[in-house]
Amino acid sequence: MEANMNQDAVISQIRKLHENGESLSKKKVKQSHPDLMRNALYYFPSWEHALQASGLDTVSTTHRIV
């Protein structure tokens, strides 16, 4: 697997999605932004690590409280 984004671009894209109010759940991002997910998993061991590197709280960004 090759990356077509650098690590800073991955972090920037994650932050942009968060700022736009998009879901950052792994399932939703994998469906709507597969390139971002592929690149994130190239640089980070998990999607949660990518979110943490972006400065986001993984619980509040990936789970809705009902």
Residue 3 pLDDT grade (very low, low, confident, very high; cuts 50, 70, 90): confident
Distance separating alpha carbons of residues 9 and 18, to the nearest angstrom: 14
Over the stretch 16-42, which tens digit does the pLDDT of each residue have? 999 999 999 999 999 999 999 999 999
Phi, psi of 45, deg, nearest 5: -70, -20
Q: Which two tokens stand for residue 55?
A: 């400065």
**pTM, two decimal places:** 0.85
Q: Where are the domains of the chain?
A: 7-62
Residue of 55 and 62 predicted with greater confidence: 55
Q: Which two tokens stand for residue 63?
A: 């789970």
**Helix/strand/coil for 44:** coil
Residue 13 pLDDT grade (very low, low, confident, very high; cuts 50, 70, 90): very high
Residue with tokens 């190239």: 42
